[in-house]
Structure 1
Amino acid sequence: MFEVTVDAGFSSGHYLRNYHGKCENPHGHNYKVRVTLHGKELDHSGLLLDFKELKNVLRPVVEYLDHRMINELVPFDTINPSAENLAKYFFDETSKHISGLTGGRVQVKDCTIYETDTSAATYYA
């Protein structure tokens, strides 16, 4: 099995609903997202997927959240914008494009959201 990973960053605000503590108040993070793909076969160039292509898939997802109040954006206007839910969101949004781009040869293995350098949540299916 082969894997490729890219990181991206964005800055956003959020607050947690149904939470009692500091994070129930609006605050911000300089997030980092890490997306890892995996697959058994390389393409004709010997690549699982060009890093540039993965970054292009990730870019609109990052731009949608960057410098915004996440709670005001679909689907986070109804679900809590926790690191766990953000990790699943990135997994789902990236998966939609990767499968079509590679004809199913490559899948998203996992997505990790770092709220800080020392705190992260990962989603995988």
Structure 2
Amino acid sequence: MAPPGGSAGPTRLAKVCRCVSFSACHRLHSKFLSDEENQKLFGKCNNPNGHGHNYKVEVTVHGKIDPTTGMVINLTDLKKYMEEAIMQPLDHKNLDKDVPYFTNVVSTTENVAVFIWENLQKRLLDGTLYKVKVYETDKNIVVYKGELSFPQS
């Protein structure tokens, strides 16, 4: 006997979102620019001693609702993946000094979102990760969906 809403019925798709928060510090500074250019471009965020944020991250996955479990993904698994991909490498860290990814990559929120995406991609089934949304502040938010470049027109 097929489960309710099982194979005899339509395939149901859903998006599942889970949030975490972490604290980290960083300095916006590009090794490819002079100190003067960095100061002009990044202003107070180029403070040599850095500055901190309480980041909020929303991870959205999507897929078919399994007719047996009723889930797109087991939230216990997603929680574990987010702990490994976000919390362990980033929480209470100096992004520029403690996270090797940012050795030659400016630790902007855009690049933090890419870092999180790439770390989660290693743990999730292909095509499951839909969106990473990173709140640096209540007013500064980055959404990344794995895009590599804009399509050519």
What TM-score results when the alignment is normalised by the length of structure 2?
A: 0.73
Shift, 1:41, TM fit: 4.3
Closer, same or farther: CA 43–53 of 1 in aligned 2, 3 Å: farther
Shift, 1:107, TM fit: 1.1
Structure 2 Cα separation of the partners of residues 35 and 54 of structure 1:
9
Q: Which amino acid aligns with 1:48?
A: V
What CA RMSD, in Å, does the superposition of the two structures yield over aligned residues? 1.5
Q: Are 2:105 and 1:79 equivalent residues in the alignment?
A: yes
Structure 2 counterpart of 1:23, from 45, 54, 65: 45
Partner of 1:95: 121
Q: Are 2:34 and 1:6 equivalent residues in the alignment?
A: no
Q: Which amino acid aligns with 1:82?
A: T
Q: Which amino acid aligns with 1:35?
A: V
Runs in 1 of length 4+ with deviation above 3 angstroms? none
Paired residues in the alignment total 120
Q: Identify unmatched segments of 5+ residues in structure 2.
A: 1-12, 30-37, 147-153
Contact 1:43-1:49 within 8 A present in 2 as well: no
Contact 1:41-1:48 within 8 A present in 2 as well: yes
Instruction: Kindly name which structure, 1 or 2, has the bigger radius of gyration based on alpha carbons.
Output: 2
Shift, 1:94, TM fit: 0.6
Identity of aligned residues (%): 32
Q: Which amino acid aligns with 1:52?
A: T
What TM-score results when the alignment is normalised by the length of structure 1?
A: 0.88
More strand by share: 1
Q: What's the secondary structure of 2:112's corresponding residue?
A: helix
Partner of 1:40: 64
